[in-house]
Amino acid sequence: METPQLPSAPVFRRWARVLPLLWAACGLAWGFGRTTYIRPIEKTLSAAGVTQVVVQNLVGPISVKTSTDGQIHLVVLIHAGGADATFARTLAGQLDFQVQNINGQLRIIGVYPLDHFRDYGYPHMKSILGIHGTDSNEYDGQKVFIRDVGSKRAVELWAEVRLSLPAQLGLVLRNTYGDIDLRGGNAAAGAPAGGSLDGFTDVGDFSIYRPLWSAIKIQSDYGKVEFTDGLGAARSVHVSTNVGGAYLDLPPDSDCQIIAHKDLGFLHNDVNNAKFSKNADGDSVLQLGDGRGAHVHIDMSVGSLHLAKVRG
């Protein structure tokens, strides 16, 4: 199913009087110490009638597990920090997650208070070529900045999203800043497979363990992508990075074809003695086994491809 344009988040008018006070207070917060508060959101929904799940978040990690119970489980941990517990608790209440089923597409959308705050502090910043995330991004049509949690410009407000769902469902992930962890299972043991995965984070790493999605598309502008224990049930894999490498940990008897393009980087194969060759397009091609398994396309601007044997 093609993912339609996501709707704009509503403006919560009841915050209008509270948020200006928070904005004034946050400028003083770091001078008087710091405390944090976590507000949980938890929902369990039937997967019946759902064909695709869309998750959209501004800042924070996303973790997804595939399940076999026919349900969709969602846990969101909203983190906020400030000068005292009251400040942090009030700030945490300004971030919400909408959950809507629209014609079989379940949308899980982080609704941030963008009318009042455009600078968000995150305690797990990455240093990439000396940049710590102060470049502007766009979220829900608004320009935003992700900064270090100690920045006087920023409020500490972010969300950790944990999701489990049947692998037969399509999954779309859109994250601006934060790592994404994806865990499947053992298809040979009867875990149902299928579905497609389309994941994006602007700054963050992908870690993928035994995926049960048959088609996988992964993109990280600044971060690495790693398959930690083979390609699972995947038959088609597309990986794209701007600054960051790709790491495939594969068993020695892997059966796949890898097509890699890079502008600046290296190609390493420590799985067996097979060598890369060039195709008509100038891309590097490596066949493991008879090549009838997964087809893996890797596109890197600055980064290297590392093929290694599965650990342990």
DSSP, collapsed to helix, strand or coil, labels residue 101 as strand
What is the arithmetic mean of pLDDT over 88-105?
A: 97
What is the arithmetic mean of pLDDT over 146-156?
A: 91
- Please return the burial class of 295, using the count of CB atoms within 10 Å of its CB with bins 0-12, 13-18 and 19+: middle
Which of 124-157 are b and which e, b meaning 16 or more Cβ less than 10 Å from the residue's Cβ?
Answer: ebbeeeeeebeeebebbeeebbbbbbebeebbbb
Instruction: Tell me which amino acid residue 213 is.
Output: W
List, for residues 252-310, the tens digit of each pLDDT value.
Answer: 889 999 999 999 999 999 999 999 999 999 999 999 999 889 999 999 999 999 999 99
List, for residues 17-59, the tens digit of each pLDDT value.
Answer: 444 445 444 444 444 568 999 999 999 999 999 999 999 999 9
Contact at 8 Å (CB) between 1 and 52?
yes
pLDDT in the model for residue 189? 55
Rg over CA atoms, the chain: 21
pLDDT in the model for residue 252? 86
Contact at 8 Å (CB) between 36 and 80?
yes
| Cα–Cα distance measured from residue 219 to residue 217, given in angstroms and rounded to the nearest whole number | 7
Q: DSSP for 258-303, please give it.
A: EEEEEEE--EEE-SSS---EE-TTS-EEEEETTS-SEEEEEEEEE-
Nearest one of 207, 145, 189, 195 to 166, comparing CA atoms? 195
What is the arithmetic mean of pLDDT over 186-215?
A: 87
Predicted model pTM: 0.87
pLDDT in the model for residue 300? 97
| Cα–Cα distance measured from residue 46 to residue 6, given in angstroms and rounded to the nearest whole number | 22
Place of tokens 């929902």: 43
Residue 153 has pLDDT above 80, yes or no: yes
DSSP, collapsed to helix, strand or coil, labels residue 5 as coil
DSSP, collapsed to helix, strand or coil, labels residue 98 as strand
Tokens at residue 240, please? 């794209």
User: Helices in the chain by DSSP H: which ranges?
Assistant: 18-29, 85-92
pLDDT in the model for residue 186? 74
For β-strands 225-227 and 246-250, DSSP reports them as: parallel
Instruction: Provide the 8-state DSSP code for 133.
Output: S
